[in-house]
Amino acid sequence: MKIGILSDIHVDINNRSGSDAVTPALCTYINNSSLDLFILAGDIASDYTLTLETIEKLETETSIPVLFVPGNHDIWTENHPDLTSWDIYNKLKKHPHNLAGNPYAVNDDWVVIGDLGWYDYKFGSSVYSIEDFNRMRFKDRVWQDSIMAKWDRPAIEMNNFFLQKLKKQLSQARARNIIAVTHVLAIADFTVLNPPPMWEYLNAFLGSPAYGNLYKTDPRVRYSVSGHVHYRKTVQKNGIEYICNCLGYSSEWQDTDDPYIEIPRAVKTIEL
Ligand SMILES: [Fe+2]
C-alpha cells in the first residue's frame, strides 16, 4: 500500500494564465507513481465549490481514493457571503472522502482519521495576551482568517471543538495503526523557528500542541500529517512520524513555476 501525501495545493492561487495547472500535473504524478491512496491535508482552494470540483477531478482521473481534510482556506466565505464557515464546513463534510466526517479504513490494520483543526495561540510568543491574538493583526499584516473565516465562536473554542472531534475519532478507531491528519500543525517543530518579531506573533495561528499531545497518548498513532505552513519537513518523535509536505504557492517555489516539476518534489510517499 503506497500512499502519497501533500497539502496546500491552492489550485486557484496557483492558477496560471487563467487555468488550473496544478490538478492535471497532480493527476499525471499520481498516475505515474503507482499510488494506491492519496491524502491532501487541506487548502485545496479558497472556495469550497472548487475544492469539491478538484477532488472529483483527481479521483476521476486517477481512479484512486483522494482523502482530504478542509484547510482554513477551504472554509473561507469570500465567494459565498451568504454562508458561514460552518455552512461550508458541513457541505464539505458530506463528501465521503472528507476525513472530518468519514474516517477511512485502509485495511484491517490501518485507519486514517482527521479534521481541519484550528489554533489556540499556544505556538505564539507568551509576550502577547489572548486579547492581542484575538485581534489577528501584527502592525499592518492582518491574519486573513479574521475576515474570511466566519465561525460563531472564538478561535480557542474552535480549537477545542476540533480537538474533541479528533479524540472521538481516535476512541472509535478500530485498527492497530492510525494516520492522523489535520490541516493545522500538531507540533511546534513545524512553526517558524527562531522567529522574527512578526512570526513570534503569527506562529499563534499555525495550530496547537494539544493535537500532538493527544497523539502521544495513543501508541496506535504512527503518522501525523499536517499542512498550513507551506514547509516540506518530516520529524520523528514519540514513535510518530510527523509529516508536513506542502506544495505551497508557486511564488514560493525555488527555481520553477512548473507544477509538473514541483509536484514530484513536494509529495511525500509512505508505504504501509
Ligand atoms: Fe496554505
CA angle 104, 106, 107 (to 5 degrees): 130
Is residue 186 over pLDDT 80?
A: yes
Q: 199-235, pLDDT tens digit by residue?
A: 999 999 999 999 999 999 999 999 999 999 999 999 9
Q: How far is the CA of 191 from the centre of ligand 1 (A)?
A: 14
Q: How far is the CA of 107 from the centre of ligand 1 (A)?
A: 30
Q: How far is the CA of 108 from the centre of ligand 1 (A)?
A: 33
Domain boundaries, the chain: 2-271
Q: Which cell numbers hold the place of 176? A: 492497530
The CATH architecture of the domain made up of 2-271 is 4-Layer Sandwich (3.60)
Q: How far is the CA of 183 from the centre of ligand 1 (A)?
A: 9
Confirm if 222 and 241 have CB atoms less than 8 A apart.
yes
Q: How far is the CA of 45 from the centre of ligand 1 (A)?
A: 9
CA pair distance 76, 241, nearest whole angstrom: 30
CA angle 209, 215, 220 (to 5 degrees): 170
Percentage of residues in the chain having pLDDT higher than 70? 100
Q: How far is the CA of 174 from the centre of ligand 1 (A)?
A: 31
Q: How far is the CA of 271 from the centre of ligand 1 (A)?
A: 25
Q: How far is the CA of 79 from the centre of ligand 1 (A)?
A: 17
CA pair distance 136, 122, nearest whole angstrom: 14
Q: How far is the CA of 241 from the centre of ligand 1 (A)?
A: 21
Q: How far is the CA of 72 from the centre of ligand 1 (A)?
A: 8
Q: How far is the CA of 231 from the centre of ligand 1 (A)?
A: 10
Residue 19: pLDDT band (50, 70, 90) is confident
Is residue 17 over pLDDT 80?
A: no
Task: Please give the average per-residue pLDDT across 139-163, as a whole number.
Answer: 97
Q: 32-59, pLDDT tens digit by residue?
A: 999 999 999 999 999 999 999 999 999 9
pLDDT number for residue 37: 98
